[in-house]
Structures are given as C-alpha cells and as structure tokens.
Homo-oligomer: A and B are copies of this chain.
Amino acid sequence: MANTKMKYPEVMNYIGGKLIPCKNGKYFDKISPVDGSLLSKVHISSSDDLNEAVNAAQKAFIEWSDKTVKDRVQILYKYKNLLEKYHEDHARIIHEEIGKTIEEGRQEVSKSLELLEFACSMPQVATGSILNVSAGVECRTEHIPLGVVASISPFNFPHMVPHWTLPNALALGNTMILKPSPAAPISPIRIAELLHDAGLPSGVLNIINGERELVEAICDHPGIQAVTFVGSTPVAKALYTRASANLKRVLTLGSANNHLILLPDANPEMAATNIIASFTGTAGQRCMSACVLVAVGDCNHIIQRIVELAKAIKVGTDMGAIINAESRDRIKGFIDRAERDGAKIVVDGRNAVVEGKENGVYFGPTIVDFANPNSEIVTTENFGPVLTIVRVKTLEEALGVANSSPYGNGSSIFTQNGKSAQIFVQKIEAGMVGINVGVPVPREPFGFGGWKDSKFGTGDITGESSINFWTKTKKITTKWNPEAKVNWMS
C-alpha cells in the first residue's frame, strides 16, 4: 500500500477529543507542492460525520460555557507554551503542505502566537458594563457564548487563519467545528493535538475534513449558530447568503486585488523592499499581497530598484511553491494574456524551475509594466507572485484606479509627504490601509477585515470586534424591594 510511504499519518477527523476516520471511507492523497511527494491521505467527510461533530460540540458546550473566561484562557496559556515549543515543527509542516518557505512558516506560527496573546487577554477586554440607571436600579451586561460555531479556513494560512477564530471563539465560551481547506489539512490537526495536550476538554474543538458538500452541510446544520469563512469572493458570497438564509450569524472573507500607490517622493529603498515583500510573500498567494502598483509621475528610479530586487529572488529558496499545478497554469494564463494585450513583462517568472525539486510547483516573481488600467491583468486577482504596474499622472487618478476595484481589502501608499498620505487614507476605499507599508495587516488588538466584495458581514474577524461576533449580550436590570428588613431582633 502507498500509505507506507506517507510522510504524515493519515488525516482523520478530530471529534469529541479523538482522531476518528470518516464514516464513508473516502479519502484523497495530499501531495506536497514543494516536491510532489505524498504527504498523507485525507478523509472526506459527509454530513454524517458533521452530525457527530456537532453532537460532540453541543455536549461539550454545557460545561465549557459554564466556566469563566479566566478559567478558559488558562488552557490557551498552556497551549501557547506548547506552540512555542513546537514552533519549528509546525513551521516545517506548513512549508511542506502548502509550499511557502520555512521562514514564512515560522512567521505564520509567530502570528498564531500573537493572536493567542489577544485571546489570553480576554478577561481584560471582554468585561461587561454596569451603571445605576435610576434610583436603586442597576443595569449590567454580560457577553454570552453563542453555542456551537464553525470556522472554514483556507489553504494559504493553514495555521494562522484558524487562530483568527479558534482562540477568541473558545475563550468566549463557544465550542467549534473547524473545517480546513482540503489543500492544507495537516497543520490544523497538529494544532488540535497541542490543544488536546494543553487540556482542552473533549468536544470543545472538533476538526472535520471534507469538500464542498461538507461546507454546505455546515451552512445548513441547525445545530451551528455561527459560521466564518475565509476564501474567494464567489464562495464567500454564496456561504454568506446560504448561512444567513438559515438565520445563522455569518462573517465571510473573500478575494482581494490590492493596489499600492507609489509617489515619486517615496524613499526608494524602503518602498522597493516593501513592495517586493508584498507581492512575492507566500508566492503571492495572500489576500493581502500587492497586486497592482499605481505609479504616479516619474517613479522610474524606484521601479528599477524593484525590478533589480525581483530578479535577485531565488525561487525555491527566497520564495516558495504554488499550491498546485492548476494554480500555476492559471497564473501563467494571466501573464500570457497581459503580454498579448500589450503590457511589458519586465520580469518573467513563467519558466521557473527549482533544481532537485522538478516535481514541485513553482512560478518566479513577475512584473508586468505599462498595463492598461482596464485590462484583465489589472482588474482580476491572479493570486500569483505578480506585480502589475499602471502609470498615472496624479494622486487623484491613482485613487480612481484603486477605488474602481470591486474589492477593498488592503491598500498602501508610498510617500514621505504627510498631506499626500492623509488624502490617501481618507479617500481609499479599503479596510486595511498602509502608509509606506507593503502588507498593511493590522496587528493585535486591531482587527482584520476588508471592505466591499472582500468581506460580508458585520465587524471584523479578529480583535475586539470578534467579541461582538462570537457572543450575544445579556442585559440585566436589577431592582430590590423598597425597604430591607429593619429590626432583626423581633
């Protein structure tokens, strides 16, 4: 049997504190994009498995929700220590299963740890309020967990994105069904193992692997109170609608096509290194990657430096793999068509090969200059290590290009001028905005969340806003009788 060669044990479901196979016996082979090796076989669950997971989560909810937030975060503190211990191990798994570099894996785990810090702080940030609202009458509030909630996570941050939802949702007293991307199921199981070892009671977290059918079952299951999803916009829209139709609380994060605006007065080295990091990180497979660079006026000296730096990047070392061959081919198609449309391919990553990893899936850093703002390469997300440059004359024009995108995830400006930066911040239609920052992901305690077609639902997925999402509020008004017993001697 091929299984004897698997690098990792087969990925089963984690339900009620146990690793158990899916009921129907289906599975698929998980291949590493790094070198084409077989990593594991992954079970494909159906709604039967989901029912079992929801049952386990509902059962666990009774005791878990009854604990105080102070008690619940003790387990997260312990888990945080274990995660620090296995930091390198988890980084390597991320590398192997989705292809990003080990260093990027390390950074991803670091971000998971930072997200845990926020969750560990929950006793300090999730207090209720209280006030005497009239004579002898007080009103107070309490954050109450919703029940069983679900989180559906993507392939590109198989470790961090579960930490967007899991620690906060659990700290606040919910129990969770985590449904990882089929392309990245190994990291989540490792997370569950460490949480298990940290003392998380059985059933508080359940992981269930599967495909589209399972996602739909989650949206429809009456035992699930809330659903979050991170992935592409069409799916984000469909799930938002479907889960809402089932009267669930929903927050779905979708695609992006982030625009950076470059002014000629930017610090050249700072701008260039930030832009390079932004479009090549995780081989461009990030919803916060730079996609379009709108260069205002004469920015040639900075663009030259970007081109130099891009050419110096070693694929397979400085930059990782693409998740699979379909993705690589899709990206290549975009570049081919851009070339046909008359744009100039100033750095060309189409033929990247990594020696010794010929079965891996790679695509080199690619820069497309002088693109027409209405062309496909500008208007459509390609999710590859591609920077498309559009040339304009004014900041206003640049804002027009950026704001014409249906998405509104992240956007940055590069300039040294305070006023230009302020105008950009005011006018840009995006949820996460940067000044001289390549990847303007807000760090804790600030929440992650885009605008427009990049996010559907109320509030942000992380930070303080997550308290609003993962809880409902109980408002309690107390009045006692007008007089107390006076004479206790009678």
Chain A positions within 8 Å of B, measured between CB atoms, are 66-71, 73, 77, 80-81, 117-118, 120-121, 123-137, 139-142, 237, 240-241, 244-245, 247, 249-250, 263-264, 267, 270, 296-298, 393-396, 415-423, 425, 430-437, 440-449, 451, 456-460, 464-465, 468-469, 472-489
B298 contacts A477, C-beta separation under 8 Å: no
B434 contacts A298, C-beta separation under 8 Å: no
Closest B residue, CB atoms, query A392: B488
Which secondary structure dominates chain A's binding surface?
Answer: mixed
Name the contact of A244 in the complex, choosing from B129, B240, B443 (C-beta under 8 A): B240
A237 contacts B241, C-beta separation under 8 Å: no
Identical copies in the complex: 4
27 residue pairs A–B, Cβ–Cβ below 8 Å: A77-B80, A121-B121, A124-B124, A126-B131, A128-B131, A130-B140, A139-B442, A244-B244, A244-B245, A244-B250, A298-B488, A394-B487, A416-B418, A416-B481, A417-B418, A417-B484, A417-B485, A418-B418, A418-B435, A420-B484, A420-B485, A422-B480, A434-B479, A440-B476, A442-B475, A447-B473, A458-B458
A478 contacts B128, C-beta separation under 8 Å: no
Contacts of A118 in B (CB 8 A): 124
Assembled-state Cα–Cα distance A469/B272 (Å): 38
Known contacts A245-B241, A476-B425, A484-B419, A124 near B121 by CB under 8 Å? yes
Assembled-state Cα–Cα distance A445/B488 (Å): 37
CB distance from A432 to the nearest CB of B (A): 5
Seed contacts A68-B133, A124-B125; 14 additional CB < 8 Å A-B pairs: A121-B124, A123-B131, A124-B445, A129-B445, A133-B442, A237-B247, A244-B244, A249-B457, A393-B489, A431-B472, A435-B476, A435-B480, A437-B477, A447-B475
A130 contacts B131, C-beta separation under 8 Å: no
Most buried by B among A142, A419, A422, A488: A488
Closest B residue, CB atoms, query A393: B489
Contacts of A296 in B (CB 8 A): 488
Name the contact of A477 in the complex, choosing from B131, B132, B440 (C-beta under 8 A): B440
Known contacts A458-B249, A486-B394, A433 near B241 by CB under 8 Å? no
B130 contacts A480, C-beta separation under 8 Å: no
Assembled-state Cα–Cα distance A332/B96 (Å): 71
Contacts of A435 in B (CB 8 A): 418, 476-480
A476 contacts B244, C-beta separation under 8 Å: no
Known contacts A418-B416, A431-B474, A488-B395, A445 near B127 by CB under 8 Å? yes
B421 contacts A478, C-beta separation under 8 Å: yes
CB distance from A24 to the nearest CB of B (A): 32
Known contacts A297-B489, A458-B469, A117 near B120 by CB under 8 Å? yes
Known contacts A417-B418, A484-B417, A477 near B433 by CB under 8 Å? yes
Closest B residue, CB atoms, query A449: B473
CB distance from A223 to the nearest CB of B (A): 14
A129 contacts B132, C-beta separation under 8 Å: no
Name the contact of A433 in the complex, choosing from B433, B445, B475 (C-beta under 8 A): B475
Assembled-state Cα–Cα distance A131/B467 (Å): 14
Contacts of A425 in B (CB 8 A): 474, 476
B437 contacts A267, C-beta separation under 8 Å: no
CB distance from A409 to the nearest CB of B (A): 11
B477 contacts A468, C-beta separation under 8 Å: no
Assembled-state Cα–Cα distance A415/B298 (Å): 24
Contacts of A132 in B (CB 8 A): 68-69, 142
Name the contact of A393 in the complex, choosing from B123, B451, B488 (C-beta under 8 A): B488
Contacts of A139 in B (CB 8 A): 442-443, 446
CB distance from A276 to the nearest CB of B (A): 15
Most buried by B among A81, A441, A448, A480: A480
Most buried by B among A264, A421, A443: A443
Assembled-state Cα–Cα distance A474/B420 (Å): 17
Contacts of A451 in B (CB 8 A): 472
Assembled-state Cα–Cα distance A421/B416 (Å): 11
Assembled-state Cα–Cα distance A129/B447 (Å): 11
